[in-house]
Amino acid sequence: MIVAQGLTKAYGHTPVLSEVGLQVGKGEWWGIIGPNGSGKSTLMQLLSGVERPSKGSVRLLDRDIGSYSRKALARIVAVLQQEGLDPTDFTVREVLEMGRYPFLNWLGREEQDAAPLIDSIMEKLELRDIQERRLTELSGGQRQRVALGKVMVQEPSLLMLDEPTTYLDIHYQLQFMEMVDAWRQTSEITVISVLHDLNLAAQFCDKLLVLHEGRVAGVGSPEEVLTEAYISRIFRVMPSVVKHPENGAPQVLLTAKRSRK
């Protein structure tokens, strides 16, 4: 689906990424993890075509990503940032309709009626009852569902998520990840996500790529990457790793350093 080789990015004389590579197959869910400042968001910008590398290449469907027009790229790749959507006066339905922009002709029209698709996605995301409400009237969790609906309406083959659960409570974090996973199961969409929550990453991602100081520090399954020794070295904490009682995914427990009375 997407192959990156030797990705290097510097801003002026400041290096951010150095010789990063990955190969993501169709239908896979990859998680990008690592400490703050390790280059995760920069890597996502390079993979999505927003930024050009100082060195190296990104090939999407066996074509250099820079060879796609902006509209053609938007028909393949959708990006959802951690902020999701700003509270605006647009209604929920109007925002979802914006997801069809890559398919509009020069007259601003689409050959096929997208209304049935939009209705179906609103039903899946439980947005139908609030479709006429404005984003200013919604909670953060509701706005993030609308943001997901907008990219689903875009019908991409590759979904990129940059810390999508940062501002959500644990209920909406899990709900959001489950919705993405359900979409992947039915459409075989490929997902690449930057995640801070290692436990969510372990439960949903097929592969993890670890960045540390702008370089790849490890690649593998959650079981291979999320070990006590590895987490201690990369994140500088002393964790305990246990298996999830229901699905067996590695789960990271942290112990706070505090005095006992």
DSSP-derived secondary structure for 178-226: HHHHHHHHHH--EEEEE-S-HHHHHHH-SEEEEEETTEEEEEE-HHHH-
pLDDT for the residue 12: 83
Summarize the confidence of residues 234-250 as an average pLDDT.
92
By C-alpha distance, which of 31, 81, 19 is closest to 208? 31
Residue 123 to residue 235: CA distance in whole angstroms = 40
Determine what percent of the chain is predicted with pLDDT higher than 90: 62
For the chain, the domains span: 2-222
Query: Can you give the pTM of this predicted structure?
Result: 0.89
Give Cβ neighbours of residue 191 (< 8 Å, ≥ 6 apart): 28, 29, 30, 158, 159, 160, 161, 180, 184
pLDDT tens digits, one per residue of 63-110:
999 999 988 998 999 998 766 677 678 999 999 998 888 888 766 677
According to DSSP, residue 45 is labeled H
Grouping H, G, I as helix, E, B as strand and the rest as coil, residue 17 is strand
According to DSSP, residue 44 is labeled H
- Identity of residue 73: L
Burial of 20 from C-beta contacts in 10 A (0-12 / 13-18 / 19+): buried
Report, in this order, helix, strand and coil percent for the chain, each rounded to 5: 35, 30, 35
pLDDT for the residue 107: 67
pLDDT tens digits, one per residue of 101-122:
888 876 667 777 889 999 999 9
pLDDT for the residue 143: 87
* Contact indicator for 76, 60 with CB cutoff of 8 Å: yes
Summarize the confidence of residues 180-191 as an average pLDDT.
92
Work out the mean pLDDT of the chain and round it to a whole number: 89
According to DSSP, residue 68 is labeled S
pLDDT tens digits, one per residue of 127-178:
999 999 999 898 878 888 898 899 999 999 999 999 888 778 888 889 889 9
Residue 69 to residue 60: CA distance in whole angstroms = 13
Residue 165 in tokens: 């659960």
pLDDT at 202 over 90: yes
Residue 185 in tokens: 């199961």
According to DSSP, residue 91 is labeled B
* CA dihedral over 246, 188, 176, 59, signed as positive or negative: positive
In CATH, the number for domain 2-222 is: 3.40.50.300
Determine what percent of the chain is predicted with pLDDT higher than 70: 96
